[in-house]
Structure 1
Amino acid sequence: MTDLDRPVWATLAHAPQLAEGGELAKRYRRDVNMFASARDDSDESTAALAGLLHPGDTVYVLQVPVIRIPSGLTLAREAQGVQMVATHSIDAEDGPDGIVVLGDAEAAEMLALATLTEPGPFLERTHTMGRFIGVRIDGRLAAMAGERMRFPGFTEVSGVCTHPDFRGRGLARRLSSVVANNIQQRGDQAFLHAWTSNRAAITLYEKLGFEFRTDVRVAVLKRQP
């Protein structure tokens, strides 16, 4: 078992400023993201995970091992994904539209774009998880990509999305290449996740230089009000 098999836990164990919880289970701060993880699949750890949810709360669990549903929580949704890792150097692709670094000033625009396109859980402070970049066209945020989970030696490419009005221009590929290249320039290995059913995204990432590592499980867990 490696950190990549339980990336949410690996990230939160090294990012106390983003985390809530203790030694057995952690979740992201509620304005940052919806992911949570137990340290392992023991009864004690899964019970601690359940204890992090208030009535009505929902969290996402993403890991390679089979996900145990803690007592007191219900399974609202489950899905299959793939985890891919960059296996060689990725060149940052240039383009006609300038790339801008996104931050607090663009938080509302980023949230609106992510809400429209649904690249994965994205909240008002998700952009604080790592470096995000975007492309503006006619003053509008047309596309973005950034970093999400991060632990020693690895950083995840995530939040890749394009507004429907600007699709077909290669913006997602371009931004993903820049994010992955920047990760590699820091000395980390880039990795990412995609839904198993999203063949278009998987094909794009394969062309960039990512290879399939493993299947991952995703569960949305909820504590009833």
Structure 2
Amino acid sequence: MPSWSSCSMPEILELTDDDPLIRGTRGASRGPGWRSADGRAVAFTGYDADGRVRALVALGPPEETVELVAAVYGEMPEGIRVIVPRGTPLALTQPSDWNFRAAFGAPPPQPAEAGVAWCDDEDAVTDLLTLVSPGTSAWPGDPKVRRWAGIRQDGRLLACLADTSSVDGVGHVSAIAVHTDARGCGLGPSITAWAMRRMFARGCDVVTLGVYADNTVGLRMYDRLGFTVNRALTTGLMKRSD
């Protein structure tokens, strides 16, 4: 009996109790899917806006995830990224450790929320991100960005955040950045909490984000804001067997 089989995305969502990471992946840009024999490990492909495979995402116990990835990776195009639970025994090149966070309720009030507003000054956002977060996952002009939020003081943009939600019911925030001159003033948690409230108000039942594993300040901040899901993941490239 094979150790894995193909399955649909609805089946994967049922097996994972509507996992917020899977739910938040663009619905039209995911699949096909696979599952281990006992259903504890699942995998699916994610596509970019042009319909090209961009990643193989696998979730489950590391010992089963590694077998599932090894079984299906040969069906993937050359050079795609693999996203797996941290500690999965795969030989990945260019690995990047990050944490998936999810919150299911509104955060506690933050001191500078009153100063947050939606922001259409993309030049100012670009300048801020270039200064403090050049490796960010979202930039002005990126089609995955719904809109930007910002905090201005004395005409300067001191903090920004991107709403990159892609499906109804799941809010997603990206590109949270605070100017070096304004750090320690609570702007990061304030702009994040402000965006979370608006996502919950429009009908989302969960808000998600990704954060690099070495960003200890950010991880603590998200704890305080109510991000109770904290999943350790690794992204990398997998060498094919000869």
State whether TM-score is above 0.5.
yes
> Where do 1:65-214 residues align within 5 Å?
75=93, 77-91=94-108, 93=110, 95=112, 98-103=115-120, 106-118=121-133, 120-126=136-142, 129-188=145-204, 189-214=206-231
**Distance in 2 between the 1:79 and 1:39 partners?**
14
- C-alpha displacement at 1:176, in angstroms? 0.4
Q: Which residue of 2 aligns with 1:13?
A: 28
Query: SS at the partner of 2:117?
Result: strand
**Distance in 2 between the 1:200 and 1:178 partners?**
19
**Distance in 1 between the 2:143 and 2:212 partners?**
21
**Distance in 2 between the 1:90 and 1:127 partners?**
28
- C-alpha displacement at 1:38, in angstroms? 4.3
Q: Give the conservation status (yes or no) of the 8 Å contact 1:145–1:157.
A: yes
Residue identity opposite 1:26 in structure 2: Y
| Aligned length, in residue pairs | 192
Q: Which residue of 1 aligns with 2:66?
A: none
Runs of 5+ in structure 1 lacking a partner?
A: 16-22, 30-34, 51-59
Change (3 A) 1:198 1:24: closer
Q: Give the conservation status (yes or no) of the 8 Å contact 1:80–1:217.
A: yes
Of the three residues 54, 66, 71, the one matched with 1:36 is 54
Q: Give the conservation status (yes or no) of the 8 Å contact 1:99–1:134.
A: yes
Q: Which has the higher contact order (CA 8 A, sep 6+)?
A: 1
Change (3 A) 1:217 1:6: farther
Bigger Rg, which one = 2
Q: Percent identity?
A: 17
Change (3 A) 1:95 1:39: closer
Of the three residues 76, 89, 92, the one matched with 1:46 is 76
- C-alpha displacement at 1:178, in angstroms? 0.4
- C-alpha displacement at 1:36, in angstroms? 3.1
Aligned alpha-carbon RMSD (Å): 3.5
Alpha-carbon displacement from aligned partner over 1:13-60 (angstroms, at most 9, x marks no partner):
269xxxxxxx9652246xxxxx9334775346521775xxxxxxxxx7
Runs of 5+ in structure 2 lacking a partner?
A: 1-15, 31-43, 59-68
Residue identity opposite 1:112 in structure 2: D
- TM-score, normalized by length of structure 2? 0.64
Change (3 A) 1:67 1:128: farther
Change (3 A) 1:130 1:11: same
**Distance in 2 between the 1:96 and 1:176 partners?**
9
